[in-house]
Structure 1
Amino acid sequence: MYRLVVNYHHPADPDAFMEHYRSVHAPLAKRMPDLAAYTYGVCESLDGSKPEYFLTAVLDWPTKEAALASLGSPQGQEGTGDLANFAQAGVAIVTYETETVI
């Protein structure tokens, strides 16, 4: 499985961010070809302090090649292009080949 993790920095207006994410961005992202799984959640910390990121999204594809093709597709480009519409605080993105432990 090949994974892409998007960590969104804290937006100036969290409510507007979430409204756009839920109603526009997530529906765009889930249309990407060969996407095997897509989850997201608002970040929390165990000690109650403000976490480094506001929201984290995790997207999985069967292979790295499938992920690259999907991200390069018209649907992938549309989703990537939408970041400018709501993620002005920036994002940190990492990718990796997953290894299952359990």
Structure 2
Amino acid sequence: MYRLVAAYNHPEDPEKFLEHYRNVHSKLALKQQGIRNYEWGVCSTPDGSTPPHFLVAVCDWDSKEAMLADMASPEGQQGAADLENFAQAGVSFDFYEITKDI
């Protein structure tokens, strides 16, 4: 399995961000043909302090090649282009091959 983790910085308008993410961006992500798992959540901390990121999304594919094919597809390109519509505060991406010890 190959994973992409997207960590979104805190937006100026959290409710507007969530509205767009929930109703537009997440639906675009699910249109990718090779995606095997997609989950996301708004970040929090046990002590109530401000977390480093506002929202984190995790997407899994069977392989790096499958992820690259999805990203190059019209659906993947549409999702990438949508970032400018809601992620003005910034987003960072981490990619890795999943290793499981259990």
Deviation (angstroms), 1:47: 2.0
Structure 1 unaligned blocks of 5 or more = none
Residue equivalent to 1:87: 87
In percent, how many aligned pairs have the same letter? 54
Secondary structure of the residue aligned to 1:82 is helix
Deviation (angstroms), 1:23: 0.5
Structure 1 counterpart of 2:28, one-letter code: L
Distance 2:7 2:35 in 1: 18
Structure 2 counterpart of 1:91, one-letter code: V
Distance 2:46 2:99 in 1: 25
Distance 1:68 1:85 in 2: 23
Structure 2 unaligned blocks of 5 or more = none
Q: Number of residue pairs matched?
A: 102
TM-score (norm 2): 0.98
Deviation (angstroms), 1:48: 1.5
Distance 1:48 1:101 in 2: 31
Distance 1:84 1:64 in 2: 25
Residue equivalent to 2:43: 43
Deviation (angstroms), 1:45: 1.1
TM-score (norm 1): 0.98
Regions of 4+ moved over 3 Å = none
Residues 10-66 of structure 1: CA distance to partner in whole angstroms, max 9, x if unpaired? Answer: 000000000000111000111012100000000011222100000000000000000
Alpha-carbon RMSD: 0.6
Residue equivalent to 1:11: 11
